[in-house]
Amino acid sequence: MPKNKKISAASTVDVMPKGSNDTWVYTDVVKEHFFKPKNLVTDASKMKNYDGLGMVGSPACGDMMKIWIKVDKKADKIKEMKWQTFGCGSAIAATSMLSLMVAEKGGMKIDKALAIKPQDITKRLGDLPTRKIHCSVLGDKALRSAINNYFVKSGQKNRVVKEQIRIIDKSAKVTDHDIEEAVLEGAQTLEAVQKKTKVGIGNPEVIPEVEQLIRFYTEKYFG
């Protein structure tokens, strides 16, 4: 960049990809939640008295998120949400905003919290750049994971909400939902899951993914 070239105020916050009409703009609300995140957990070892823990993503693949919730059991409302995330500024801002949304006005009913969509979070942030909308998806998925964990811990397995089903082993016709169900029923090793589902027995190349799912669901539901 030439030394004497002046940079306009707009150019410091807007980035226009070449050949695109999509402007990347972070609103003041997004920046507020990024620089001063609400309900952020800095030391997970101190999170002891919570009713549900949710996790999504993987640091190896990109963003990862953990959410802890406290529930008003009589009112069936979420009264507090704490979180950690390994991700970009948009993911941090979206989760920070979500933590306020579910706890405001005395807490959000669990059924309403389960229905939160990424668009709801984005709207409260005053929008996100198009290429960053996916960052708000982590928050609602992690929240549903935490609520599901609460359902399991409180003996309400009939209320557990399953995410979209994905086929893991085509030959055995086993899905991630089948593996999740096996873990919920107490199978927490590859051998135990195979006994229930036959996953990977005739298709060993899927075993690494199966083992990863077993670890994920075990920690998700049982800590």
Catalytic annotation, residues: 61, 135
Torsion sign across C-alpha atoms 216, 144, 51, 183: negative
Other CB atoms within 10 Å distance of the CB of residue 170: 9
Q: Helix crossing, 176-184 with 190-197: angle to 10°? A: 110
Structure tokens at 218: 């075990």
> Residues near 187 by Cβ (< 8 Å), separated by ≥ 6?
193, 195, 196, 214
Residues facing 68 on adjacent strands: 53, 82
The size of the chain, in residues, is 223
Residue of 186, 182, 215, 184 lying closest to 199 (CA atoms): 182
Residue 82, H or E segment:
strand 77-86
Torsion sign across C-alpha atoms 108, 64, 146, 140: positive
The type of residue at 6 is K
